[in-house]
Amino acid sequence: MTEIIQAEGKKNFDFVDTIRCIAMMAIVWEHCVYNGTYIFNDFSIKHIVYIGLIQLSKFGTIAFFILAGFLLGNKFFTYSSWQYFKRRLSTVFVPWLIWSCIFIATILIQQIILRKGEFDFVKFLLEKIEMTYLYTNYWFIINFLFCIGLLLIFRKYLYQWWLGLVFFTFSLVYSLNIYYQWFPPVHTTAIFGFVFYLWLGALINNKWNWIEQKIKVTSYLPIILMFLLAYLISIFDIIKLIDKNSVDPYNTLRASNILYSFSTLILLFKIREFRLVKFIRPRETTFGVYLIHYILVTQLLPEVFRPFNLIKFPEMNLISMFLYVVCRFVIVYLLTLLIINFINQTRFRWIIGG
């Protein structure tokens, strides 16, 4: 009986790892598409397509937190709180610290070359440290570890609904703030905004047999319709926020995007099997992709496309804009995988964590 349970658990973990890899692809896609918020003067077809391309990937962060919570679920009770957190520090924090420092170093090297060392090094360094840990994707690892710590503090009550309600209330405040702007609606203020999704993932793990059965008996049609409706609502929501000059109209915690993220995750749960993604070896590569890809997006891509003297992104025609985005994604994702596979062949494979 024990072997059967373990086999089922392993199967579920493989399945969730695969979907988590797709969520990570979405995060990479978003970073490759994004070229600025207010770069169009009107809501032309190009602007709508641009919004649609970004929104297509916006399920990635919420899905990643939910799936991470799913994978963490049972492990919360396998170790003591300190043992578990220490383990997370070695597999998540240390690799994150290394790659975030590499990111800062690449910016410094670039600045030294461009200005030939004629700038205030200390001031520039402090500015880039602040930028890296507060305004880039590296901030989310700080948030992730904070969320894990919070769940460990309340581990005894992990599956209590009242705890989920408290976390949901935090997230709801941040969601409403995007529209009413009681305080700056940027992701760096949302330190409590994502813990609900990590908790929800742990709860889904605990209730997986029931949830899996419900998804199996539901046909594709209502799930696909729900996905498409949520996608369209999310696009309309972004348009309205841009029209109101919102500080962050693409914010992940928008109510419409939460609905879209849930519907996308349900659709992925329904599809379940993604053979091509399994070829990428999700468990070995997903976290490494997160750590490395942003360096390539911000530091490598501008140099790759610089010799082509491309016109400004908003001035491209629709086809050129789409091909440009796809090329950016393919270059970044494939090169990131090559770097990860190379590192995995060395004794330094621990620096891509997981």
Digit-coded pLDDT (tens) for 269-311: 999 888 888 788 888 899 999 999 999 999 999 888 888 888 8
pLDDT digits (tens, 9 = 90+) for 254-280: 999 999 999 999 999 999 888 888 788
Written as six digits, the tokens of 49 are 């397509």
What's the CA gap between 344 and 166, in Å, rounded? 41
Print pLDDT tens along the chain (354 aa).
333 333 344 444 688 989 999 999 999 999 999 999 999 999 999 999 999 999 999 999 999 999 999 988 767 777 777 777 888 888 899 999 999 999 999 999 888 887 776 778 889 999 999 999 988 999 999 999 999 999 989 988 999 999 999 999 999 999 999 999 888 877 677 889 999 999 999 999 999 999 999 999 999 999 999 999 999 999 999 999 999 999 999 999 999 999 999 999 999 999 988 888 878 888 889 999 999 999 999 999 988 888 888 888 999 999 999 999 999 999 999 999 999 999 999 999 899 875
Task: Tell me the angle at which helices 2-33 and 255-271 cross, rounded to the nearest 10 degrees.
Answer: 130
The residues, ordered by sequence, that sit 6+ positions from 54 with a Cβ below 8 Å of its Cβ are: 30, 33, 34, 238, 250
Burial 260-269 (b: 16+ CB within 10 A, else e): bbbbbbbbbb
> Distance between CA atoms of 282 and 271, rounded to whole angstroms?
17
